């Protein structure tokens, strides 16, 4: 891997093509990503699907094709469909929360294109095939989505994930894989009970997001990060947890989380760097990426824009 922060394609080249489609992954690969991210959920027939949400309605035409298959909350769940049914869906650009329009208006048109659902096995075979034909060694970065919810639905998504990774030769910390999860108890289970020897990343959210029962406020302390390091090899924090915008001189101020994580022996791979959604305190994408690399010293970056991020990294030498 290069002597610079790792370039992790967030849901593929999702700034240009609908997220988690094979087209988005192939484009991110061609743009020079070091790792491609896979969010993992399970279908009704226990096939692992690459999809950011346990729901389908914001990224597909499921409501049109299967109008009566929603649950009481009005949502359409991946878990309620067999793979054969999922393959009939057209995947499109992500809609906003109320489905009134695209989440990112300047991206690929919602009503254009013909994109399909992707299984984890399909994606691994795409990446391994490209690695063979290009001579590169691009890695996987799967996320175990909602493991407690999946168990309530009768499936152990973590065990299924590790079995598929093992099938394709990913077994140790020397292999180009990071497994990530928001649920701290699940990561402990993956390491201790399931015996996973791959590199693990503890995702760090906010307590009010509802991602899991994990107390992220406690985790973002020196003691909390030492506890994380007993299980995981790194953390994946939200970028806005790593700084506060300056009120006087215009320069952001570090929150100290990167330093504390490094002191605990953890890598830091923040999410998500988007050229079309700059966080507060930054006037350009170049300024954003360069500050996190030069000032904070992050070890990797999740980005929707692999090419733009690589341009900044190359400019920094």
Does residue 221 lie within any of the structural domains?
Answer: yes
Does residue 76 lie within any of the structural domains?
Answer: no
Which residues have a catalytic role annotated? 10, 52
Does residue 130 lie within any of the structural domains?
Answer: yes
pLDDT tens per residue across span 124-134: 999 999 999 99
pTM of this prediction? 0.97
Does residue 293 lie within any of the structural domains?
Answer: yes
CATH of the domain at 237: 3.20.20.190
Does residue 194 lie within any of the structural domains?
Answer: yes
- 134 contact partners, CB below 8 Å, separation of at least 6: none
Q: What is the pLDDT of residue 245?
A: 85
pLDDT tens per residue across span 133-191: 999 999 999 999 999 999 999 999 999 999 999 999 999 999 999 999 999 999 999 99
Q: Domain count of the chain? A: 1
Domain interval for residue 294:
6-54+121-316
Does residue 92 lie within any of the structural domains?
Answer: no
Does residue 98 lie within any of the structural domains?
Answer: no
């Amino acid at each position: 891997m290069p002597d610079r922060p790792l370039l992790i394609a967030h849901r593929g080249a999702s700034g240009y093509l609908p997220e988690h489609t094979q087209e988005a992954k192939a484009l991110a690969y061609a743009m020079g990503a070091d790792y491609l991210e896979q969010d993992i959920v399970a279908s009704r027939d226990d096939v692992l699907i690459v999809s950011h949400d346990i729901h389908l309605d914001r990224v597909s035409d499921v409501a049109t094709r299967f109008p009566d298959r929603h649950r009481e909350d009005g949502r359409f769940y991946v878990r309620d469909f067999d793979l054969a049914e999922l393959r009939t869906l057209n995947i499109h650009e992500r809609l906003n929360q109320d489905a009134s329009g695209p989440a990112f208006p300047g991206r690929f048109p919602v009503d254009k294109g013909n994109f399909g659902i992707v299984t984890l096995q399909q994606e691994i075979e795409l990446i391994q095939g490209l690695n063979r034909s290009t001579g590169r060694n691009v890695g996987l970065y799967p996320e175990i989505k909602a493991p407690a919810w999946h168990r309530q639905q009768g499936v152990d998504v973590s065990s299924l994930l590790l079995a598929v990774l093992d099938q394709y030769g990913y077994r140790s910390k020397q292999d180009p894989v990071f497994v990530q999860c928001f649920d701290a108890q699940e990561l402990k289970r993956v390491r201790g009970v399931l015996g996973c020897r791959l590199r693990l990343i503890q995702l760090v959210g906010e307590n009010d997001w509802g991602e899991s029962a994990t107390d992220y406020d406690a985790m973002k302390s020196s003691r909390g990060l030492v506890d994380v390091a007993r299980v995981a090899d790194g953390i994946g924090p939200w970028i806005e947890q790593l700084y506060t915008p300056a009120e006087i001189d215009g320069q952001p101020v570090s929150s100290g989380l990167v330093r504390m994580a490094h002191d605990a022996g953890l890598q830091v791979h923040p999410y998500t760097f988007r050229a079309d959604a700059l966080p507060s305190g930054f006037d350009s994408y170049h300024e954003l990426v360069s500050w996190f690399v030069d000032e904070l010293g992050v070890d990797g970056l999740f980005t929707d824009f692999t090419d733009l991020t690589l341009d900044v990294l190359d400019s920094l030498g």
